Amino acid sequence: MTLASFYHTLKFEKRCSPHTVNAYQTDIEQFVEYLSSQYALSSPDEATQAIVRSWLAKLVDEGLTSRSINRKLSALKAYYNHQLRLGEMKTNPASRVNTLKIPKRLPVSVSKAEIHSALYSQDEHETDFSIRRDHLILELLYGTGIRLSELTGLKISDVDFGSQTIKVTGKRNKQRIVPLGNKLLEVIQAYLEERNKLAETGTEEIILTDKGKKAYSVFIYRKVTRYLGEAGVKGRKSPHVLRHTFATHMLNAGADLNAIKELLGHASLAATQVYTHVSVEKLKSIYKQAHPRA
């Protein structure tokens, strides 16, 4: 009952995304399993700081990334803080456990030529539903910079053809308005004509599977990976790479950093400033290649 109360708080009070709630639930269930198998304990409330540390050490030995381990620790800390507020516990055994250092990694983006190849790998006048849908997935991710979770939740009512904008619901249900270009609006309109013939009654989401059901994250992820691979992208291939590419191309074209922050839905400018480092690295590369004394 205690865990159910915690998940309810995450979902309805803190308004965490379904992805975050599911991730935290998985993390805590793994910890509970560890407690049962290693210490014969039945509840995370019985754990000590030493036990929490031993679990993290086990995860390190198993080869999990620092980012993944830190998320699991974050889940535990959030759960124990919930218990403290309810008066179920007097101390948080995870509060003094430090997170692992994460090496800084610059966002990965793809070139304009690769984007063009991915977007126009199919005939834009093709009327086949699946081809139009796949094209729209790429256009929306690159043309607006929205997250994968935001794309799966995008509804027809979120598109305003009059103002040429879409309403995007991001993390913690925060909403923002993102402009749409004329080309993207045309792609949406053409797709909707085919989508509405296939959609199940009551389905409001824009992106659907071939069976007319709401598209899920893995479905879209596989589509993006496939088309970027066919376009010749050698490195990482994912919807988030297209989000990085959107921001990087905007910045390189002279867009204001604050404007990019608002378009991406970042809570602070610090999260957006990483793209300036990408641009600096690009300038360094060009300088080293072009300057005779570089």
From first to last of its 294 residues, what are the pLDDT tens digits of the chain? 578 899 999 988 888 888 889 999 999 999 999 999 999 999 999 999 999 999 999 999 999 999 999 999 999 999 999 999 999 999 999 999 999 988 777 678 899 999 999 988 765 556 689 999 999 999 999 999 999 999 999 999 999 999 999 999 998 889 999 999 999 999 999 999 999 999 988 899 999 999 999 999 999 999 999 999 999 998 889 999 999 999 999 988 888 889 999 999 998 888 888 887 766 666 666 667 776 765
Where on the phi/psi map is residue 44: left (φ > 0), alpha (ψ -120 to 50), or beta? Answer: alpha
Is 275 annotated in the active site? yes
Task: Provide the pLDDT for residue 168.
Answer: 96
CA distance 195 to 198: 5
How many C-alpha atoms does 88 have within 13 Å on its Cβ side?
16
Task: Provide the pLDDT for residue 283.
Answer: 62
Task: Provide the pLDDT for residue 122.
Answer: 62
Token pair, residue 199, equals 């959609």
Is 11 annotated in the active site? no
Is 240 annotated in the active site? yes
Under DSSP, the state recorded for 156 is G
pTM confidence score: 0.68
CA distance 9 to 1: 12
Q: Which of 103, 108, 83, 110 is nearest to 95 (CA)?
A: 83
Residue 114 in contact with residue 231, Cβ under 8 Å? Answer: yes
Where on the phi/psi map is residue 272: left (φ > 0), alpha (ψ -120 to 50), or beta? Answer: alpha
Task: Provide the pLDDT for residue 77.
Answer: 96
Task: Provide the pLDDT for residue 291.
Answer: 63
Catalytic pick among 53, 167, 171, 213: 171
Residue 237 in contact with residue 225, Cβ under 8 Å? Answer: yes
Catalytic pick among 24, 34, 227, 275: 275
Catalytic pick among 11, 71, 240, 282: 240
**Which domains does the chain carry?**
2-86 (1.10.150.130), 112-290 (1.10.443.10)
Counting Cβ atoms within 10 Å, is residue 274 exposed (0-12), middle (13-18) or buried (19+)?
A: middle
